[in-house]
Amino acid sequence: MKARFEVNGREVEVAVEPRLTLADCLRHHLRLTGTHVGCEHGVCGACTVLVDGKAVRSCLILAVQAEGSRVVTVEGLSNDEGLTPLQASFRKHHALQCGFCTPGMITTAHALLSEEPECDADRVREVLSGNLCRCTGYVSIVEAVLDARAAYKGGSR
C-alpha cells in the first residue's frame, strides 16, 4: 500500500505493508533512526513523535494511518548549527546518559512546553510518566524541562 505524508516538513511517499508501524517506517524506510523502538507495545515512550502537533506513540500507529498527516521526529526538532534551547537545557542538567530514551523525552517535552509553557513540576512529571528512562532516575530530566520553559514562553523554541 502507498501512504503519503509529511515528515519534518518534507512530503514523502512510501510503499509499505499495512502492518508496518510508523516507527519502523521512519527508521527503516526513511532512515530517520532518531526515533527509537523500546517495547513495541505502547509503554516505554521511546518511539514518541509528533503527529499533527500531538505527541503520540509511533509504535502504535500504522504507517498507512499516517496518510495526510504532518509528522515531526526528533530530527525535525533539531538543527545542524547547535542545540535548541530544550536540548541545551537537557545537556546542562545531564538529563541523559545512554541516550536511548532521549528522543522520546525531547519530542514529548517539546509538545508539552508548546502547549503549556507555564507547566509546573508535577505536570511535567505527570506528562513524562509515559516515557521510561532507566539511566537518569528522571530528576535531572524534570529539571531540564522546567528550565526550558523560559524559551517557550516567549514563543521561541
Partner 1 sequence: MKNTFIGAPMERREDLRFLRGRGEYVDDLEVEGLLHAVILRSSVAHGRLASLDTSAALKCPGVHAVITAKDMPGGVPIIPMRLQPLPEFKPYEQPVLAYDKVRYVGEPVAVVLAESVALGEDALEVIGLHIEPLPAISGHTTAAQDRSLLFEGSGSNCALVFHARKGDADAAFREAPYARRERLSTGRHYGLTMEPRGVMAQWNAETSRLVVSGAAKVPFFNRRILAKQIGLPETAIEMIENDVGGGYGARGEFYPEDFLIPFAARHINRPVKWTEDRRENLMAMNHAREAAADIEIACTRDGTILALRGDVHNDMGAYMRTNGAVGARNVCQFLAGPYRVPHVKLDSHLWMTNKTPVGTYRGPGRFESNFFLERLIDMVAADLDIDRLELRRRNLVTQAEQPYPIAHVQPTDAKDQYDSGEYGAAFEQCLREIAWHEKAKLCGRSIEGRYHGLGISCFIEGGAAGPKETARLEINDDGTFSVYLGTTSVGQGVETIFAQIAADALEVPIDRIRHVHHGSTHYVSEGFGAYHSRSTVMGGSALLDATKNLNAAIRAAGAKRLGCDASAIAINGDKVSSSDGHSFPLSALAGLTAEGTFHNHHHTYSYGTHAAHVAVDPKLGRIEIIDYVVVQDVGRAVNPLTLRGQVIGAVVQGLGGACLEHLQYDGEGQFLTGSLADYLLPTATDFPNLRCVITEDYPSPNNPLGAKGAGEGGIIAAGGALANAVAHALAPFGAEPRTLPLSPSKLWELVGRKKA
Partner 2 sequence: MKMPPFDYACPATLAEAIALLSAHGGDAKVLAGGQSLVPILAFRLAAPKLLVDLRKLTDLRTIKITPDGVALGAMVRWCDIESDKRLRTAHPLLLAAVAHVAHYQIRNRGTVGGSIAHADPAAEIPGVAVTCEAEIVVMGEAGPRAIKAVDFFQGALTTALKPDEIIVEIRLPPWPAGRRWGFQEFARRRGDFALAAAALFYDTDVTGKAANTHVGVIGVADRPLRLPSVEAVLNGAAVDVATIAKAEAATIAAIDPDSDIHASGAYRKALAGTMVERALKMAAEQT
Binding site for partner 2 (CB under 8 A): 1, 17-19, 21, 24, 40-42, 45, 48, 54-57, 59-62, 64-65, 67, 108, 111-112, 126-127, 129-130
64 binds, among partner 2, partner 1, none (CB under 5 to 8 A by kind): partner 2
Measured between alpha carbons, how far is 36 from 44 in angstroms, rounded to an integer? Answer: 10
Among 23, 72, 102, 113, binds partner 1 (CB under 8 A): 102
99 binds, among partner 1, partner 2, none (CB under 5 to 8 A by kind): partner 1
Which long-range contacts (C-beta less than 8 Å, at least 24 apart) are formed by 47-51? 47/23, 47/104, 48/103, 48/104, 48/107, 48/108, 48/131, 49/22, 49/23, 49/73, 49/74, 49/107, 50/76, 50/107, 50/110, 50/111, 51/22
Q: Which is nearer to partner 1, 69 or 102 (CB)?
A: 102
Contact between 92 and partner 1 (CB under 8 A)? Answer: yes
Task: Give 79's contacts (C-beta < 8 A, 6+ positions apart).
Answer: none
Angle between helices 85-92 and 102-115 (to 10 degrees): 120
Measured from the CB of residue 103, what is the shortest distance to partner 1 in angstroms?
Answer: 5
Longest dimension (CA), the chain: 44
Q: Which is nearer to partner 1, 71 or 142 (CB)?
A: 142
Q: 1 is written with which cell numbers?
A: 500500500
Q: Which range in 12-20, 50-58, 60-68, 109-117 contacts partner 1 by CB under 8 A?
A: 12-20
Measured from the CB of residue 95, what is the shortest distance to partner 2 in angstroms?
Answer: 18
Q: Which is nearer to partner 1, 115 or 126 (CB)?
A: 126
